[in-house]
Every structure is written in structure tokens, then in C-alpha cells.
A and B are shown apart, each in its own frame.
Chain A
Amino acid sequence: MDNLEEKIRSILSEELQNASNGSSSLGSTDSGENGIFDNVDDAIAAAKAAEDTFIDASIETRNKVIDAIKTGFKPYIEWMAKQIKEETGMGTVDAKIAKLNNALYNTPGPEILQPEAETGDGGLIMYEYAPYGVIGAVGPSTNPSETVIANAIMMLAGGNTVYFGAHPGAKNITRWTIEKLNEFVYQATGLKNLVTGINEPSIEAVQRMMKHPDIAALSVTGGPAVVHQAMTSGKKAIGAGAGNPPAIVDATADIDLAAHNIVDSAAFDNDILCTAEKEVVVEKAVKDELIQKMEAEGAFMVTNKADIDHMIDLTINKNGTPNRKFVGKDATFILDEAHISYTGDPKIIILEADKDHPFTLTEMLMPIIPVVCCPDFDSTLKTAVYVEGGNHHTASIHSNNLIHINKAAHRMNTSIFVVNGPTYAGTGVGFTGASALTIATPTGEGTTTAKSFTRRRRLNSPQGFSLKTWNK
């Protein structure tokens, strides 16, 4: 062998002396493995480069991308639910499984982007829903993977690509979700970096993203400060803000159903959904019956004023925000920490409170639900509007009086209004309707779909077409 190699090398050097030319080969330099980059600029640049290709891609390609996401995550749903619970310490695994299924399988794709057309003597006017470009998205820690999945499906369906600024409190599972998503999409289509993110998400990174020239639009879920920042960024912003949803129960309500729905929905993921019932406003005539039936559904009633005050001290910070230690925690955890004795396995904590009670006016995001009592329907509705705090986010009513229902639906003026049902129905969980993970109340899109992440474009063709007329 050595001898032969020597011979061949001597032939090479003799005969190819002049013809030889060099080209050293080096290791692969594919940084940004599976959509995750070291810094914001690289991640956005990659999403921009991907968009330059994706913007021209066929609808079939978009469908392939979305199918790949839907089939790819299927075997991981339970594992993801557990990981989210473990990393964030919030909510319940069962609720997260339901929310992940909702995000994956109830989020419509490109099929909802149907054009509109007008025709007549002025020819054809057509409107189509076209992509913005790279969308900068910020998700909450309360729905980390669900938001990545639902936003990715909606935004990619619209022909955009996404840079995702993860919540630092859920960075590991967010990162995993982005990487997996890229893997599925790449395997199915060969496209890379349709959704990107960074290794170490931070507030600074989000601010840099909002100012980045290659970010065409923002989709921000978070507190008033970050939503305000997005809306004043000079870019198109889709902002999902806070809520404090009241459940109205009037004297005509089916109290069994109301009690069941409210407890079930407030207990769902330990009340961390921004849509979940955060307080009950009830007409005096049915208050006692409602409380009794809620207890039967698994609510634990705290009556001792000292206990209630102690809970307030524990769960609400000096500045009026809920204490993160208790956000999304089990009712039993809160009761244990407050040294309140209980029997059984309570799902939520209830108490009687007035309309200005801290538990009533704070978006607690934990299973503590004050019950506010009002003498008649008009004052009940007025109180519900008051405690909702002008967020215009979500509200529900339990009633069999059509006039009451209609009046409340109108006056509450919320993005989601649920009649005789759990408010989680408004997010798509378990019921008909598109998933609603990003509910854009301040900017008005409401429950967002692929359409919310597109620009409406108009085409005029005065010389044609109209099939119904010809008078040229």
C-alpha cells in the first residue's frame, strides 16, 4: 500500500505539477443550528433570509410547512406539557395537553386567506391578504410552547417568517419548541429558519428586536409596558394585553351549569389564562345557591377575615402585582402556605368580596376567585364592567334572559364574550372555533388568525374582468 501510494504520489507530482490547484476543505460552518442563534441580529437576519425565499413559495409549500408542524409535534404533546409545568412551575399538565392540542389542531392555515373581489363597469378590483415579512413575536411564560406553535402556524400561513423573543421564565421549552419546529419543517420542505430565536432571551433582546429594521411587524403578548412599547415602535403592532374577566350570574341562570362552568374554567391550568374567570359577579337572589353549588364542584370557601387578609399579604406584592411565587399554583399550595386548613382536594379558592377588594381588581392568575354580590341585574352588569377594568378582554354571562345576555354582551365590549359556558371555550379549547392564543385587544384584532398577520392589498384592473357585463 505504502509503496503504491508513493508511486501514485510521484506520478501526481510529476505530471500534475502545473495543473495542480488548491482548495482546502474545512468543517461545516452552519451556525444557527435549527433556528437558534447567539444574538438577535443573526436570528433576525436568518429569518429575513428565509422570508426572501418563503415570500415567493407556493401555498402548497406553506401547507407542507404547517402539516409538518402538526404531525411533528404530535408524539411530544404530553412530554411538552410536563416540561412546561416543570420549567414554569405554573398550571396543570392536563390543561397544557388540552392547550397544546388546541394550538396545533385548531389553528387555521392559509385556507382562511380567501381573496375578495368586486366587479362591474370599472373592471375588477381584488383584495388579497399578503405577508408583512419578518414578524417579531413576544410570548408569555404562561403559554410558551402553545404560543410559539399557534403563532408560527398563523404567521407562516400568512407567508411571514418569525423571530420569537422567548419569555426568560420559559426559555428552555421555548427554545426546544423552536428547534423542533425547524427540524420538522426542514425535513418536510428543506426550508430553514422560518422561525428563529436566541440562546439567552432577555428584555434587552426584545427591545432590540422592536427597533430592528428588518422586523416588519410585532406581535406582543405581555404587560401594559411591553405592549405600549410595541405600539409606539413605529411598526405595525398586534398587542395582546391583560384582562380580568368577570363571570356574570343573574337570577335566571341555570345555577348548576354556572357553578360547574365557572369552577371548571377557573381551575383550568390554575387560572393562568388571561381569558379565565377571575371573579364572579352575582345577583343577590342566587348568590347563596351559587356558592353552595360551586363548593360542590370543588371550590373551597374562605370566610375568616384574618385568613383572607393573610392571603392578600402573601399573594399580592406591595406594588399591587400578583406574587410570582403563587401565580398558576394549585389552590392547595396557596391554602397550605396561608396555613388555612381544608378538607378534600379543592380546585379553586372562593371568598365573598366587594367590588373594590384587591382580589377583585387584580389580575391574580391563580385560582382565587372572589364572589361579588349585587342587588339586581343592572348593578350586577355595572359592577362587572367596573371590575373588568376597561381591559375589554374577556367576560362571560350565565343567564336565561335574552335581554340580559344581549345587554351584557354589548356593554362588556370585550374581545371574547362567552354565554353560558366556560371562558376557555373562547380560546378554542374543547369546542368549535379557531384557537385563540394571542388575543389582541388593545390593537383591535381580537382573537387572531392568519389573517391578522397579513396586509390587505388591492388590485385594480379597469379594463377587465367582469363576467356579468361588457360595455367597453
Chain B
Amino acid sequence: MVVDFSLKPHIISGKDSLDTLDAIKDQTILMVCDPFLDGSDELNKIRSHVHANNHVEVFSDVKPNPPLTNIIAGVQVFEKVKPTIMIAVGGGSAIDTAKAIRFFGEKVANTKVACFIGIPTTSGTGSEVTNTAVITDDKNNVKFPIMDDYLTPDISILFPELVMSAPASVSAFSGLDVLTHALESLVAKDSNLFTEAFSEKAMSVIFDDLVEVVMKQPQNYELRKTVHEASTAAGMAFNAAGLGFCHAIAHQLGAIFHMPHGLACAMTLPYVVEYNAEHDEVALKKYAAAARKCGLVGKSVGDKVAVRKIERTIHQMMQEMNCPKSLRAFGVDRNEAVKETDRVIEYAKKDATFPGNPVVPSDDDLRAVYEKVIG
């Protein structure tokens, strides 16, 4: 067993972070962004930092759960312009689309992208620091993760102004996604001292600041920046440590019930934490230690109580941010949800995140967790 951890993406964060782009000269740039960003003030602000002697091509036909069809369209553009630099601007879907375009484009066009820059516009996915792109083959209704370390962006620019205007629900869901990345990576199979440091810090920021920034101070730049950075930190943690069966279940909820990914994660997370703490001594200790460090409980509080406090705090945060806590509260009919049980279990076990969990839950364990998520 070896500890394997690298700090690949060069992270630049803050008010002047876009200045990084000023250095790019005489390049062919393929910019991939969410459709609503094309022509927006935000994108123009980013483009204003790209020197005019570069050739810039924008591809904005990005869809959630990136479908292969859109990626193929992107690869066509890639093949035509043969970019030397790619800049991905947007949420997880845009960055994943860009990674997939790069993955196929480099092979099809037989060229190499010298530098891949990720600029996230939500504080949640972590895609700007991970080696993974999840894409959907829309013809066969199958999701593929493409994982390769070279797909990890070379540079991630965290420009907090981009997340300032996000609607409360988007900020809430993506923030809960960050918390899920943090709590799952904290105990995941490949976690180590380095990843745990990132997980714990991300947890601490989300517990401290998320509700405040979502519900009370959406215009607080410093808080937005902190949460934005925590999202990236959590991404770095799970990129190396892995995730667990919370994400494995949440991916199925997203596919079947078309619910926001972060919300699906948050609904499932407390029960996965509960399960892992019950079945894995190391996970119990790690959760409890992190809860104490985050100040959720006092130093003298026992491990089990500390973990319960994590579970309760997640529910409380969802409450305060008006997030439904169960599928039923989200409006899914109970019988319909129950009908999907076998499919959720079957595909959760096949999900790429499933093997990261510190213990392997049985079908009955998964069923019990899913039952609680239904509510």
C-alpha cells in the first residue's frame, strides 16, 4: 500500500485571478462554456483578458449530464481548429464536456492541448481539479466516467465574482455537494493524511459559512470566495481519495427522478455517514474527529454523539436553506420511488464511485438507506 497524492492543478484564486490569462499569446483557444454564458458579461470579462492575437473559438452547446451527441459536436470544432489551449468555463457539465472533447479530440485530430484551464462558475462540482469527466451516451442511455490523470486541468482559476449572482437554490445544492465530497472523501478507501486535510477544511467551511452565504449574505465576497475555494479543496480530496456509495446512490436519483445532483447527495448523505460510522471503526473516528475540529461538538463529546451531530447538522442546514429532505418531500410519489429500488441498488453497485466506500454495503444495506431517502 502506498500513499499517492499529487497537487496537479495550479490554483489561482481571487479578484485578480483572471490576470493569469493575460500571458496567453499567439495561441488557438477552444473555449467551452455553458450556453447561458455565451455573450454574457461574465464571459466577456474573461475574454477581455485573452489577448487579441489569439484565435478564440467558443463552443457553448453544453447540456447537463453531458450527452455524447454534444461532445461529438464539440470534437468536430476541436478537429477544425486544433486548439493549443482549452478554457472551460461553467459548472461541472461544461468542464466535463471540455475534458471529454479534449479526450476524444486529441485522439481524433492527433494533436495535443498544451494547457487546459478550468474556470468554475459554481462552488460545487470540483471538476476543475479532478481527472474525471462523466458523460452520457444518450443513444444507449448509459453513463460513462472517463478517468485519466492527464485530464486534470493544468490551471484552475477561481474567480469568485462568477458565483456571486448564483440563485440561492443553486448555491445551496452545490454547497451540499461540496459537503458530500468532503465527508465521503474523508473516509474513502484511498484517503490519506493529505486528502483528509482538504476534506476537513472543506467540511469546516461548509458547516460554518454555507447557510450564511446562501440565506443571508449572498453578496459577501469574502464568504463566496471561501466557499468557492472549499469546493476546490473538496475536489482535490476526492480526486485522490475517491468517494463512496452516497454518490453511487445520488447518481441514480439524478438519472431516475431528474433532481439536482447536490440535492440528491444531501438527501442520501446523513444515512451514508450513519452507515459508515456504524460499520467501520476508522470511519467513525474520522467523522468524530472532524466534527470536533469543525466545532460541531465539544472536545469531550463521544464519537457516536459527534457523528449523530453531523447527521443532524446536515438536516438542519437543508431545513434552513429550504431543501426537501426526502424524495417524498421533493414530490416523488412513494410507490414510484419504491418501484425503483432494485434498479437503484443494481446501478449504484456498478457506479464508479461505489468501490471508494470504506466498507461494502450489502444489497439490504443499500435498500435500507434508499428506504430512508424515500422518506
Contact = CB atoms under 8 A, between A and B. Distances in A.
Interface of A: 1, 4-5, 7-8, 11-12, 16, 19-26, 28-32, 37, 42, 45-46, 49-50, 52-53, 56-58, 61, 189-193
Contacts of B72: 1, 4-5, 8
Contact of A19 (B65, B324, B347, B352): B352
A-B complex: 10 closest residue pairs judged by Cβ atoms: A49-B328, A29-B336, A31-B333, A25-B255, A192-B331, A21-B350, A24-B141, A23-B347, A53-B329, A23-B143
Interface string B247-279: 000011001111000000000000000000000
Contacts of A42: 333-335
B324 A16 contact: no
B336 A12 contact: no
Contacts of B146: 16, 19
Interface residues of B, number: 51
Contact of A23 (B108, B333, B351): B351
Given A4-B72, A8-B75, A193 B331 contact: yes
Contacts of A191: 322, 324
Given A21-B350, A31-B333, A193-B331, A4 B75 contact: yes
B334 A4 contact: no
Nearest to A50: B329
B347 A61 contact: no
Interface string B330-341: 111111110110
B329 to A, nearest CB: 5
B303 interface: no
A28 B327 CA distance: 13
A277 to B, nearest CB: 46
Contact of B251 (A23, A26, A57): A23
Nearest to B255: A25
A31 B258 CA distance: 14
Contacts of B71: 8
B136 interface: yes
A31 B336 contact: yes
A30 B143 CA distance: 23
Given A26-B256, A32-B331, A56 B319 contact: yes
B271 to A, nearest CB: 15
Contacts of A23: 142-143, 251-252, 255, 347, 350-351
Contact of A4 (B79, B144, B328): B79
Contact of B144 (A19, A31, A46): A19
Q: Choose among B75, B256, B258, B333 the residue with the greatest number of A CB atoms under 10 Å from its CB.
A: B333
A29 B63 CA distance: 21
| Residue among B68, B255, B331 facing the most chain A CB atoms (10 A cut-off) | B331
Given A22-B142, A50-B329, A57-B319, A28 B351 contact: no
A21 B135 CA distance: 11
Nearest to A64: B322
